[in-house]
Structure 1
Amino acid sequence: MYRTTDRAGKAIAVTGTMLAPRTSQHGPRPIIAFAPGTQGLADRCAPSRRLAEGTEYEALPLKKLLDQGYALVVTDYQGIGTPGAHTYPPERPN
């Protein structure tokens, strides 16, 4: 869980996952911030939960980056995995 701000500048908590290769590295390790496509608005749709369950559809590209020695941080987005609503606007009738 980390602290960030919402679109109005208010401090909020957001969850995510940090992944690191098992290989040792001398010197700084490159880090990639990865924002997967959303898969739903429920907490069970959080990328960190999908990764833990083995159902994250973008897991293969993440594994390839890990295999290349990159560390990764993957966000769950605001309101997915933490209290509050996701930032998608509500549906409006036509």
Structure 2
Amino acid sequence: MARFEKEPQIAALFTRGDGPRDWLAAGQALQRVLLTATAHGVSASLFSQPLDLPEQADGTEPAGTLGHLQMLLRLGYGPPVPAVPRRPLHEVFNTRP
């Protein structure tokens, strides 16, 4: 059985609105959180299941005092994992004019 941190932190990402601009802002904020966590050796797990509840999915759930819930994260320290292989840059970008 894998050993994980006994006391992980749970974070919630909220936006004031729930439209396309808010979704973009939430994605940008999530990107910064994940990159910062990685830089500090912190693992992150995303939990989107609560966002799939019928009340959340159809927009009938009113925003709480913190705004609209966009994502839940579990942050903590876990066992080391191997690096993901990366494709060479010349295979990803076409640098020809």
Q: TM over 0.5: same fold?
A: no
Pair member with larger Rg: 2
Q: Which has the higher helix share?
A: 2
TM-score in terms of structure 1 length: 0.35
